[in-house]
Structure formats: structure tokens, C-alpha cells
Structure 1
């Protein structure tokens, strides 16, 4: 404390704008002598609590405002918003204010979530730590190795539970930094690993996915089938109402453009309804019978194509000589729709490996009836896929019911003795991390909150165009 006044001077502080005008505070402050002989400073200036700080030319209110803008928008975008609000600052000043903020205090954490995120995908990664109970980010660590996690755990109170993915580095770091914590493998990553194993198993039995080629029936062929005259369903009803509406307005003398403006539709949509003679021609899945320049020549093409009297190019030249002015592709597309009596229709394409794997891994209540029937047909043809399906169903029941402590060991034994290479490898991988997997299939904790914060980190990265350094990104994630 000092009571000897050295001098007085006027101090100017920039403050938040008043309306659209910049504001400035003028303070008359005193400078005092320092009576401490061990101090290098001879004089010092008094500070006004809540208004000023040493070596600063802005008020605390303006500092808090600019800091909030910097946390929300960072450098360039924050500077543009500040200029629109009448505040003078630069992008570098905003970044310095954000970096100068103190880290939030970290208290005891009962359930710790750990996951990695990409600073530069495929090259540079970091680790995010969150409190799974409050779902808030605690800290960001450089790298995704075991050492940073172990050092952080050693410097803070040890958590009771650590939720992580299947990464071996995080398992080693958690084991070193908090040996008494219960490690919980995330259920989502367990199911994801199982889905990969199922897809590899389906790929190994790809030949079982295609339907067997049946003998041609003696009944009517595809060309003899008659399509239903009046389709039903919500879409057919909408087509019927819209067709009647457009033709009713045409009957009143309104033009195509006038109808489009009146209904708020596109002009081509109105034209499509106007050109259709009946509403059945507009139903999705039916071939529209609209007038075509090829109509006068279709009978000739159908007879010669069925009798195999020439290739497509030859038939195109013949109809062109008869007066057809269309293109070659028009004739080609029409002839490809015809099926000769001695040529059976090609069988439907088999479902892809990924689609069948999705059918096996999807919840039965969320699978359409058509896909359920196709899956049953495939499983009936392939005993290996049928066994894989049974293993997936039992694992899903164990995962959703969280009964891993009761059934995981028996499930691993069944999968290992099933004779399926991919499922055996998956079961072997579970045994390497058995305690964490058992806890993941039993405990209520998971890494869902961690994944949500990883998505938030991605948003902040994209907002700064990926140019933010680790220290700035860490401050924004912790404080924004």
C-alpha cells in the first residue's frame, strides 16, 4: 500500500458502442510512489475494479463482449461481426483474447469418456475427454497415444469408469494412469465390428445370394401379361386428382403457364398432366403410353425383331428409309423392351453383399416385409449365413438387454466352434479385451456423449476452415 501521490493523468478506455457510435471512457487516475525498495517499479497506477486492468485500453465490458464474439466465431468472422456492431478490433486481437482465457476447473470425474478426433484426417489426431454424466468436454489432448492419456490421468483424481472404443492405445493409457478404474468398451463400436465381420462372411458366400434359375413356365409369357387398368394407393389417388384438376382448368380455357402460376407448379409438370389422356399413364411404375414418332413403325419393328430378321442397326435403317425421323437410341430402347418367345426374361439381379449384411444386422421390426422374405430365402439356401444370422440375433439380444456378464462367455464359445472364419476371428478379438467388452455389454455407460462432442469439434474446425491450431481449438471447445 502507498499513500504518496506521484501525479495524475487522463486514461482513455474504448467501450461498447452506443447505438452506431463508438464510445470512449475518460478516467482521471492517480499514480503513486512505490515505497518497497526491493521492487523494480518506482511508481504504479490505481485500477478501478470491474472497469480497468493493467496495460489495457479497453473496458472490461468491451473485453467480455469481444471475448464472447471470439469464442463464437474466432478470428475473421468475429472481426466482421464486431465491425458491424461498431466495435474496433482485429482478428489477431480476438484470437489473443480467447487464448488468454483461463481453462475451466476440472473437478472429480466419476465416468470419463475417451475418444479420438482428427485435426488433419489421416495425419494428425487428438484425444477428447468428457464427463459422461454432465456430457461436457473436460480437456483436449494432442495425439491419440497412450502416453498423453496416462499423464492426464496421473495428474487428476482417478475416475471410477472409463468409456472408450476398442483402441489398444487408450486401453494401455487407462491401465497405466488409472489402474483401478473399470474400462467399458463402447457398444456401438462392438456392433460396428460385428457388422464388418458379417459383411465379410456374406462376401465369402456371395454365390448363395442369387436366386436359382427356374425352368421357363408353360403358361403365358411376360409379353402376354396384362397390366392392371386402375392402380390403387395414395400416389395413384393423387395422380387422379391432379389430372382431373389440370384438365378441368384446361376446359375453362386457361393456358399451361397460367395454370402453372395458379397452382404454383412447374410448367413442365402441368404439361405432363395435360398431355396424358388418362391419369393411369402418370402412375409411377407404369409405362406411359404417350404419343411417339415411333408409333407407326412399332408393328413392323416388333414383327421383324421377333422373327430375328436383322440387327438393331439394320432395323433402324429400314424404318428410317420408311420415313422415321427419330434417333437410333429411340429404336434401340424400344427393341430392348421386347422379349422373343424363345428367349426367357433375365433373372433379377441378386442383392449386394452390403445390403444382405444390413438385413442380417438390422432390427427385425425395422426391416420391410419384402426384405424379410428375401432374407429368409437366402438363409434357407445357405446354412453358413443362417448360422451367422443366429449368432447376430443372440449378440443383439445380449447387447440390448445388457446381459454380457451372463451370456458373453457362452456366446464366444459358440462363435468359436461355429466353423465360420469371420465370426471366429471376431470372437477371438473379444477375448483379447474380455473385461472391457463384458463391462460394455453389462454397464449402462457408453461413448455416445463422446461421439456427439466429436461432431461438435468437427463443426468448430470447419467454421475456422481447418486452419486453427490445437491451442485455439482447445479453448473454443472448452469455453464456447
Structure 2
């Protein structure tokens, strides 16, 4: 039997777990409650509509990105969730607004569907555009302007901006000394789990070359020839050796050798005869190479580690051995550029277009004072005049949008209506009333973004797949608890009373929850 206290505790915990996860957690505590029972508790949340609400914030959120979207509405005063409406085309929003005629202020982003819905249902309502989205819209426009005028990467040599892309140089891949010091391999023979030495092919010549492939084919032909001669000799004891010599084009000495071989010697004909290994500087590192390749270490790092370990031989010889051991024992063929990296000369400095835009729009430029952009910014503005134009547009709009004079936005529009930012300007003109309200109104959409963060937390960690209403109930309960100070127990207090569950004195509800 679940007591009132236990129901309240389960309900409170269900707001911060998915139903399935909470069921498993409670099971470990000896409380057997199914996820369906937990879901039923959530359905008893008392959701209060507020028809007299006078200020709200509206935005859209997704259940599954690119597929399912909701319109979300928050109270502008205490910022708790009011509604989660299906779709973001404004249809459901219109129905909701009709039931809340007292609304006088709406904070929203730049979505035209919401603007149209509010204007249609509540024409006297003041709409406030979001400052963040206004600045984001201008940022996107400036990014497109710079894309037309600036290359993705700006190259500087001898403190001068180059007009062309420099040629890259090719050099062996380099690793930090700390990376090489972290590796510990010795040249002892590799062993398996039972401690047995692992034989491997350590020749510098790859088994995939034409030379080896031809010899492999010759070994197979010889093996078949020997097997056939021995089979004929065994089956027909009356056949003479002269006939076999003539039939198979072999000498008497060779024929006698084939016939006198044991079965083990015949099978060994398929084995590769190892060539005599020349004494080279690489020989002292072959076991290391094999063990590192077995451990899936990058071949370029193996090369660097061997050199770091004291190898003084030919670099190409070392590369050739790494390639051969990889191909002969692990069946992998390395690319021609596995140990080289294309890079610009050290005298070349690079500045990304995105970093330039970041420097233009950042408010506290001291944070980027040690960057290459800050160092060469005067030269960049001289080389690309569009940078200074973008900087001027951004500064003037930023000052207006965080200022207190909404009439300055008209001056900004007039000054920039013929510039490359005219697309952004046209958007401001269409939404001019909401933009001016952004400057003059004390209400902004900051609380909407905070509410969206809470919604995302619920969706990703505590929701599951129980449907829109279940998602709303969880998000609503959490926002009420966090923004109004109401306890979780108070959200289902009426249900407990109506069901006759509370029979003790007032105060039975757990103070903690």
C-alpha cells in the first residue's frame, strides 16, 4: 500500500526522472512502482489557466528537430510555463490568445507567424522583439557580406597581406615530445597471451609486390607438380622413371628428390623461403614496429617514436619497413602520404574570416587583444574596406538596441537602406513597432530563453516518449516549482483531498517537497 507520504515522494522524484528510470531506482530501494503508476500520479497535477494574464513570452521549441515543433508560452512576471501548443504556424496560438484577451504585452522572437497571430487576435497588444535575435539577424547578414568580399583564410607574410594563396610545403609529421615520452616499447620479441613468441614477417619487401606474387604462384605450381608425380608413381608401380622424366620435363635427380620427399617436406613447398636479412639500422627496432602496429598506433607516430628512440639510419628505409610489416602481417596498405603533412611555410600567418567577424562584433575587444586579428586589424581594414563598413553598421545598431531612444532606429534605417545590409534593413522596417518596443520596453525575451533551457532539460533527461501532454505536465510542474516557490506536494494536493486520502491534521504534506 502506498501511503500519502510515499505518493508525494514518488511524485516529487518523478519530476526529475523519466518514468522508466524512476521505476528502476525505486525498485532498488524496495519500492515496487511501475512506470504507468508514476505516469498516473503526474496526470493529477492541477494545471491552472490564467485568463487574466497581461504579459507573456512566446517562442518555438522542438520535440524532434526538423520534425515536431511546439509553440511555448511563459508568464512574463514569474516566468513559469503557461502552455505548450502544437505546431509553430500560429493556428493553435490564435485559439489560445482568444481565451486570454487581457494580454497587453508579448515578448517574441522574429518569427512572422507569431507576430501575425498576435496582431490579428490582439491588435492593441504591444509586441516586443527579442534583442538577441535582432543582433543575431544582423550578425548573419554581416557574415554574408564578408563572404562576398573576403576569402575564407587571409594569409600574411612579412606583415603584408598576400593577394594569393601560398603554396604548401610537405614535411614529415611531427609530434610533441610529451607524446613520445608517454610511449614505452622495447625491442624484445612480441609474445601472445600464453607467453609464446609470435612469429611475424619482418622483411622490408612487401608480399604484395609483383615479384612476390609471381614467386607465390611458382611455389603453388611446383607443389601441384610434386603431388601429381608422387600420386602417379604410387598408383602405377610398373611405370618407369624415364617415362615420368619425359612426361613432366624433369631431370632424373629432380625426380628422385620429389619421390623421396616426406609428406611434411611436400607441404613445406608452400612456405615462403625467408631471404637472408641484411644487417641494417632498422633491425634493432623491428620488434618495436610490429608491437606498435599490433596496438593500432598510428604509423606516423611509430616513425617519430623510432627516431626519438635513437634511430640514425635512412628515413626512407624506416618508412619502407613500417609499410612492409603493416602489409605483410596486418594486410593494410598505407597511403603514399601517411608520414607527410602539407602545411604552409612557417613565415605565413593565417587569419580566418570568422575570426575577423568575431573581432568586429565582440564588445570587449580586450579579450582578443593577443590574437592575430587584433594585431593586423588596421592592415585588414586598409586591404578590405568592407570590414570598416561592417564595423560601423554593427556599432551603431548595437548602441541603438541597448540604448533608450527608439527614434534613432529610423535614422539607422535611413542611413543604411542603400548599403549591402539592406536585406536586414527591410526586415526591421516590416517589424518596426516591435523593434522600437525592444528599446523602450523594460520587458525582453531573456526569460523565454531561460524557460526554453528548462524545457530542453526535461525533454532530454526526464521525458521519454509518452506524448505532448506528459511533456507539458513535467515541464509545467518544474517551472512552477522553480519560478513560484510552490512545493511539489501542493500540485497534487486537491487530488489527495478529493480522493479522501488525507485524513490527518493539516500539515500532513511533507515539508521537504
Instruction: Identify the TM-score tier after normalising by the shorter chain.
Output: 0.5 to 0.7
User: What is the aligned partner in structure 2 of residue 351 from structure 1?
Assistant: 351
In 2 relative to 1, CA 477–320 (structure 1 residues): closer, same or farther, beyond 3 Å? closer
When residues 293 and 465 of structure 1 are mapped into structure 2, their CA distance, relative to the original with a 3 A threshold, is farther
Shift of 1:333: 7.4
C-alpha change, 1:461 and 1:415, in structure 2 (3 Å) is: same
The answer to whether 1:163 aligns with 2:107 is: yes
- Does the aligned pair in 1 maintain the 2:19–2:463 contact within 8 Å? no
> What residue number does 1:377 align with?
379
Give the aligned partner of residue 293 of structure 1: 310
Q: Quote the offset at 1:417 in angstroms.
A: 2.5
Tell me the CA shift for residue 213 of structure 1: 5.5
| Structure 2 residues without counterparts, runs of 5 or longer | 161-177, 179-306, 322-333, 479-513
Write the deviation string for residues 247-276 of structure 1: whole angstroms up to 9, x where unpaired: xxxxxxxxxxxxxxxxxxxxxxxxxxxxxx
Partner of 1:119: 63
1:151 aligns with 2:151: no
Corresponding position: 1:362 with 2:362: yes
Secondary structure of the corresponding residue to residue 72 of structure 1: coil
* Aligned residue in 2 for 1:412: 413
Distance in 1 (CA, whole Å) between partners of 2:153 and 2:435 is 33
Residue pair 1:162, 1:182 contacting (<8 A) in 2 also: yes
Counterparts of 1:399 and 1:335, CA distance in 2: 48
1:191 aligns with 2:193: no
In 2, the alpha carbon distance for the partners of 1:454 and 1:320 equals 58
Number of the residue aligned with 2:9: 65
Q: Deviations over 1:2-46 (max 9, x none)?
A: xxxxxxxxxxxx244xxxxxxxxxxxxxxxxxxxxxxxxxxxxxx
Is the 8 Å Cα contact of residues 130 and 138 (structure 1) preserved in structure 2?
yes
Deviation of the 1:461 alpha carbon: 1.3
Larger gyration radius, structure 1 or structure 2: 2
User: Normalising by the residue count of structure 2, what TM-score does the alignment of the two structures yield?
Assistant: 0.56
Q: In 2, are the aligned partners of 1:208 and 1:378 still within 8 Å (CA)?
A: no
How much has 1:346 moved relative to structure 2? 6.2
Structure 2 match to 1:266: none
1:197-212 → structure 2 map (5 Å cutoff): 197-207=141-151, 210-211=154-155
Are the aligned partners of 1:104 and 1:478 in contact in 2 as well (CA < 8 Å)?
A: no
TM-score (normalizing by structure 1): 0.59
Query: Does the 8 A contact of 2:416 with 2:425 survive in 1?
Result: yes
Of the three residues 403, 426, 429, the one matched with 1:428 is 426
Deviation at 1:345, TM superposition (A): 4.4
Distance change (3 Å), C-alpha of 1:447 and 1:375: same
Aligned length in residues: 326
CA distance in 1, matches of 2:28, 2:437: 53
Q: Which has the higher contact order (CA 8 A, sep 6+)?
A: 2
C-alpha deviation, 1:365, in angstroms: 3.9
Residue pairs, 1:41-60, within 5 angstroms:
60=4
Distance 2:153 2:374 in 1: 14
Gaps of 5+ in 1: 1-13, 17-59, 217-238, 240-289, 298-314, 322-327, 338-343
The 1-side partners of 2:50 and 2:35 are apart by 29
CA contact (8 A) 1:116 1:128 kept: yes
Following superposition of structure 1 onto structure 2, how do residues 66-145 of structure 1 map, counting pairs within 5 Å?
66-106=10-50, 108-145=52-89
Indicate yes or no: 2:447 matched with 1:445: no
